[in-house]
């Protein structure tokens, strides 16, 4: 049975949480393979809304295994708080919840470094969430990070922590002139994190064994990414990106499986485009249409509450995501937000320095300078929220969907018309490879 990667094909916030939740009734396990608690997935079940930051969306389905993979950076305080909040709502954490012993820890000094660094960047501010994600990944790459499994060896944890605290205090005081009261105490952090260790110890293990074992048994496994393609550290709009591999390739390195075990990639595509934080955004709207998209789509960050920048659908950016991820099919979300618009421009190319380009530029300055080339499609009246078949769409809405699918050159697997599970049309099983 195949393994499926679910990946955002824009700048994040495409509705991955809902689609993953929808598909979890078909899987044995969900693996979160990168990012930290800077990302948020919103899942609506009936009248209840759940916002998940670190824990895979599969936790909302009884009997589905949930894995926080080695590619994730874990703030244990945030994880324990999220677990407590879910348990208070009746969600159980049993022997099917797993945390990779190879995932890296976010420590209090990571948050301090990120806050101070962001103050000095001027026009290169990333617009981070300030949760210490980037510095934790930086320590991982610099080979001075502390892994989750180290919590199970208190003497080793204390020894490594003491070295890091000494280095970080020197760094903060010398580079950022942090006063003594803002520096860190090894004993305080150690005591706090040993409390987290006691709570999390039953779930910490070699999750690569868990995931590969499920695949060996022929079970379906879904790999869940955070953020989106254009925030990927390698293929996003660098430097205005996240610090991890948000593309489909990250499922292999961050989930602990070989690339040959991945059978299919489902890209989540919003019917328009949004972005949070700084960086280029070719189709951004700073007008009444942009405000309307934000209001109708409730475009505010699930983690920070920050208003999202909104714009028309960018087929150039989405087509790039299809190529980079090897996307086989898409789930088109939030089509209902476009209800009532008289016209719907779709960006099919960019104008750059007197020439028309159809490929997504890798040069960030060029991406800042491009002008979108639009193809205008008619909008539709009424609401699409109540439909149960694609054929029930207004002809203009169906034409809009068909045009997006045609521009991307992939199959259409799912269409979503609202936030609830039942506001979805599943056109094909995303797990099943199909003939081209």
Q: What is the mean pLDDT of residues 73-85?
A: 95
* Terminal Cα-to-Cα distance of the chain (whole angstroms): 19
Q: 37 catalytic, yes or no?
A: no
Q: Which of 13, 75, 232, 413 is catalytic?
A: 13
Residue whose C-alpha is closest to residue 318's, from 249, 372, 369: 372
Average pLDDT value over all residues in the chain: 92
Q: Which of 37, 41, 104, 230 is catalytic?
A: 41
Q: What is the mean pLDDT of residues 82-106?
A: 94
pLDDT category at 116 given cuts 50, 70, 90 is: confident
Q: What is the mean pLDDT of residues 48-55?
A: 84
pLDDT, position 41: 67
The predicted model scores a pTM of 0.93
pLDDT at 123 over 60: no
pLDDT, position 414: 96
Residues 321, 246: contact at Cβ < 8 Å?
no
CB burial readout 159-175, b (16+ within 10 A) else e: ebbeebbeebbeebeee
pLDDT category at 124 given cuts 50, 70, 90 is: low
Q: State pLDDT tens for residues 227-272.
A: 999 999 999 999 999 999 999 999 999 999 999 999 999 999 999 9
Q: 98 catalytic, yes or no?
A: no
pLDDT category at 169 given cuts 50, 70, 90 is: very high
Other Cβ atoms closer than 10 A to 303: 16
Q: State pLDDT tens for residues 304-339.
A: 678 999 999 999 999 999 999 999 999 999 999 999
pLDDT, position 42: 72
pLDDT at 129 over 90: no
CA distance readout (Å), 172 to 104, 112, 127, 191, 265: 21, 8, 21, 22, 42
Residues 82, 55: contact at Cβ < 8 Å?
yes
pLDDT, position 62: 86
pLDDT category at 126 given cuts 50, 70, 90 is: low
């Amino acid at each position: 049975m195949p393994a499926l990667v679910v990946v955002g094909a824009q700048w994040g916030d495409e509705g991955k949480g809902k689609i993953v939740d929808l598909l979890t009734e078909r899987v044995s396990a969900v693996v979160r393979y990168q990012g930290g608690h800077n990302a948020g997935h919103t899942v609506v079940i009936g009248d209840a809304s759940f916002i998940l930051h670190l824990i895979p969306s599969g936790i909302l389905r009884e009997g589905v295994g949930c894995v926080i993979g080695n590619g994730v950076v874990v703030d244990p305080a945030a994880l324990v708080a999220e677990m407590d909040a879910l348990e208070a709502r009746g969600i159980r954490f049993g022997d099917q919840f797993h945390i990779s012993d190879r995932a890296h820890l976010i420590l209090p000094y990571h948050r301090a470094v990120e806050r101070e660094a962001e103050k000095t960047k001027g026009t290169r501010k990333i617009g981070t969430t300030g949760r210490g994600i980037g510095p934790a990944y930086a320590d991982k790459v610099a080979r001075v990070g502390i892994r989750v499994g180290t919590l199970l060896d208190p003497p080793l944890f204390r020894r490594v922590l003491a070295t890091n605290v000494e280095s970080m205090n020197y760094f903060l005081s010398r580079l950022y002139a942090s006063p003594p009261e803002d520096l860190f105490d090894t004993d305080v952090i150690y005591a706090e994190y040993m409390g987290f260790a006691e709570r999390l110890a039953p779930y910490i293990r070699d999750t690569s064994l868990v995931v590969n074992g499920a695949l060996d048994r022929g079970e379906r496994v879904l790999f869940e990414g955070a953020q989106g393609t254009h925030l990927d550290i390698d293929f996003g709009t660098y430097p205005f990106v996240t610090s991890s591999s948000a593309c489909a390739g990250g499922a292999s390195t961050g989930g602990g499986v070989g690339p040959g075990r991945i059978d299919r990639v489902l890209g989540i595509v919003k019917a328009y485009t949004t972005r949070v934080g700084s960086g280029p955004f070719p189709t951004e709207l700073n007008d009444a249409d942009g405000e309307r998209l934000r209001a109708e789509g409730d475009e505010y960050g699930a983690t920070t509450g920050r208003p999202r920048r909104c714009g028309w659908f960018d087929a150039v950016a989405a087509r790039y995501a299809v190529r980079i991820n090897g996307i086989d099919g898409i789930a088109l979300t939030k089509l209902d937000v476009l209800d009532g618009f008289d016209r719907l421009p779709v960006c099919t190319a960019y104008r750059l320095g007197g020439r028309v380009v159809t490929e997504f530029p890798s040069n960030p300055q060029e991406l800042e300078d491009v002008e979108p080339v639009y193809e205008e499609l008619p909008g539709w009246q009424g609401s699409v929220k109540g439909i149960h078949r694609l054929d029930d769409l207004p002809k203009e809405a169906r034409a809009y969907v068909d045009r997006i699918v045609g521009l991307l050159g992939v199959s259409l697997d799912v269409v979503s018309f609202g936030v609830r599970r039942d506001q979805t049309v599943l056109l094909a099983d995303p797990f099943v490879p199909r003939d081209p």
